Amino acid sequence: MLAFTASSDCFSPRAYRPLSLTVVANRVPIRQTDDGWETSVGGLTTALLPVLEAQGGTWVGMGEEPDLPERQEFPADDPDFLVRRVPLSTEELDGYYYGMANQILWPLSHYLIQHLELKDEFIETYRHVNERFADAVLEETEGGEDEVIWIQDYHQMLSPGHIREERPDATIGHFWHIPWPAMEVFRILPWARELLRGMLGCDLIGFHVEEYVDNFIESAEVLLGAEIDGNVIRYEGHETRVEAHPIGIEVGRFKEMAHDPSVEQEAKKFRERLGTDHVVIGIDRLDYTKGIRSRMLAFEEFLEENPEYHGNVSFFQIATPSRTELESYQQIRREVDEVVGRINGRFARESWVPVNYRYRTYTQYELCTFYRAADAALITPLRDGMNVVTQEFVTATQDGVLILSELTGAAYLLPEALQVNPYDQGGLANAIKVALEMPTDEKKERLKGLKQTVETLDVHNWADKFLSALAK
Ligand code: GDG
């Protein structure tokens, strides 16, 4: 059975819909389960699958399981859209995904260059895999006027250039979900110019915020000598527009979940189990960019400086396993384990455990109960393209305080959050105290602004606006 998480009627009838949409992403939006097929949970699937369901189209992504067919229509009995897999060998997956994408582009874009592994074999495999993705797109499209190709993220910087070579008139968009770093950081890459040229095969490139737009434009101007006219880049006879299109969450569904009486009951039980007057939460993939360890150290400093909170506050941190094959992710796991053990060893007494740390995955329903139960959310990445956990918390909470890293895309959009520099341990420790002691009126006032913004960012609007801009 194919269980769709979003339905096509969430897509506004006024929305621009190309006659044929081809989405290109690292992963396909469906996965096989014991009972059949299910859609993956995530912003991208939620936003784009309804468009494909409503009007047909194709989703191109890597084939991770060798026995699945390359082309598969869904739903099988009355197909709406096609899934086109690009099967990858172990070597291809290692070089393209674990190598180039996650050990080069990911740390570089997050300004964490100590994690860079600049290996030639990574870019070589990345080139080859991007070409294979581009070939799959060319096979699945005909080059018609109303055909739109929408590529997602840092896994596919070179495929726009390949598609453009074969299809000079194609309409190609790209959305980059992580930060685009300052030009001086981007140019560290030995292949910076080649990668930029690939991206400039697009008609429209989207980022979450203007800062990344500016960084990209400066990279094209300085490194390629491209001509710049406002937000238009002219290079080798082709024009590329670069715009900010901040992503949102599925606000309606989160609101509905948060207002479900059973969520309220579970939230109450959760607080009772923790047994403290104050609850602070953190929810992240376990990634060195998310600032989990620094945040733990700040919590430790908060406990050192505020003995009156001993026995009276719980920090509940979920770290969802992620990219576990990579040494840098195994290392951050060990470091977080070590610091959690130390804090609890130092401060725990009788029934009080200051840090409740969970290295596992929860359902969205469970996440919603945690958002609902928390007095404050500590979302303090060292760098983050947007960070949509902020938006989920803001939507679900009734009176919680958002403590937010100023080095995230979300910080540009959510000025009412309590903003902190994630590298400033003392400032962060102080922000926890400020959040826990914030007067109710101030909390409500801040939340009002935050909720208004998050409503407008809805992920369906995001897809709608990007596709409309691409069609211009
Ligand atoms: C990139 C950019 C940008 C987490 N644990 C569980 C779980 N999650 C869900 C959260 C949230 C999502 O994962 C994580 O959101 P982030 O925004 O932190 O995203 P990244 O994975 O880093 O992705 C980021 C995003 O793309 C979108 O453009 O915001 O800046 O890095 O939705 O709720 N979900 C479930 N169980 C968990 O245990 N079900």
Candidate from 364, 388, 458, 466 with most ligand 1 atoms within 8 A of CB, to mutate: 388
Query: Could you give the CA distance from residue 411 to residue 210 in angstroms, rounded to a whole number?
Result: 12
Q: Which domain holds residue 376?
A: 251-456
Ligand 1 atom at minimal distance to the Cα of residue 361: 38
Pocket test for ligand 1, best of 155, 207, 389 (most atoms within 8 A of CB): 389
Shared domain check, 429 and 311: yes
As a whole-number percent, the residues of the chain with pLDDT over 90 amount to: 84
Atom of ligand 1 nearest to the CA of 384: 30
Residue whose CA lies nearest to ligand 1 atom number 20? 387
Check whether residue 204 and residue 60 sit in a common domain: yes
pLDDT of res. 144: 79
Total domains in the chain come to 2
Instruction: Choose between 398 and 41: higher pLDDT.
Output: 398
Q: Do residue 313 and residue 427 come from a single domain?
A: yes
Cα–ligand 1 centroid distance for 387 (angstroms): 7
Q: Is pLDDT of 15 > 60?
A: no
Contacts of 269 (CB under 8 A, 6+ apart): none
**Closest listed residue to residue 141, CA positions, set 24, 51, 58:** 58
Residues 119 and 184 in one domain: yes
Ligand 1 binding pocket mutation candidate from 106, 285, 383 (most atoms within 8 A of CB)? 285
- Judgement on whether residues 350 and 230 belong to the same structural domain of the protein: no
Q: What is the pLDDT of residue 159?
A: 98
Cβ-based neighbours of 394, under 8 Å, separated by 6 or more? 402, 414, 447, 450, 451, 454
Q: Which atom of ligand 1 is nearest to the CA of 41?
A: 39
Q: How far apart are CA 136 and CA 83, in angstroms?
A: 11
Sheet holding 401-405: strands in order across?
355-358, 313-320, 278-285, 376-379, 401-405, 418-420
CA of 362 from ligand 1 middle (Å) equals 12
Distance 284 CA to ligand 1 centre (A): 7
Nearest CA to ligand 1 atom 18: 387
| DSSP classification of residue 31 | E
Tell me what pLDDT residue 472 has.
81
Report the alpha-carbon distance of residue 356 to residue 33 in Å, rounded: 31
State whether 255 and 216 are in the same domain.
no
CATH number for the domain that contains residue 215: 3.40.50.2000
d(CA 325, CA 94): 10
Measure 389 CA to ligand 1 centroid, in angstroms. Answer: 6
pLDDT digits (tens, 9 = 90+) for 16-51: 556 689 999 999 999 888 888 888 877 688 778 878
Q: Are residues 211 and 78 part of one domain? A: yes
Nearest CA to ligand 1 atom 16: 387
Q: Residue 16: its pLDDT value, please?
A: 54
What pLDDT does 18 receive?
Answer: 62
Q: 423 CA distance to ligand 1 centroid (A)?
A: 21
The reply to whether 291 and 219 lie within a common domain is no
In terms of domains, do 103 and 234 share one?
A: yes
Helix (H) or strand (E) holding 404: strand 401-405
Q: Provide the pLDDT confidence category of residue 82 given band limits of 50, 70 and 90.
A: very high
In this structure, the residue with its CA closest to atom 21 of ligand 1 is 285
374 and 388 inside one domain: yes
- Ligand 1, closest atom to CA 385? 30
Range with lowest mean pLDDT among 30-44, 132-146, 301-315? 30-44
Q: What separation in Å is there between the alpha carbon of 320 and the centre of ligand 1?
A: 10
Band of pLDDT at residue 60, cut at 50, 70 and 90: very high
- Do 329 and 403 have their domain in common? yes
Does 94 share its domain with 232? yes
Residue 263 has pLDDT above 80, yes or no: yes
Most informative mutation of 254, 367, 379 for ligand 1 (most atoms within 8 A of CB): 367
For ligand 1, residues with CB inside 6 Å are 41, 43, 177-178, 247, 283, 285, 318, 320, 361-364, 367, 384-389, 392
| DSSP assignment of 206-264 | EESSHHHHHHHHHHHHHHH--EEETTEEEETTEEEEEEE------HHHHHHHHT-HHHH
* Strands, sheet with 20-27, edge to edge from the N-terminal-most edge strand: 71-74, 81-87, 57-63, 20-27, 147-152, 171-175, 204-207, 238-244, 232-235, 227-229
Work out the mean pLDDT of the chain and round it to a whole number: 93
DSSP code of residue 470: H
- Would you call the peptide bond into 75 cis, given omega within 30 degrees of 0 as the criterion? yes
pLDDT value at 99 more than 80 = yes
- pLDDT tens for 416-427 read 999 999 999 999
| Of 40, 153, 316, 387, best ligand 1 pocket probe by most atoms within 8 Å of the beta carbon | 387
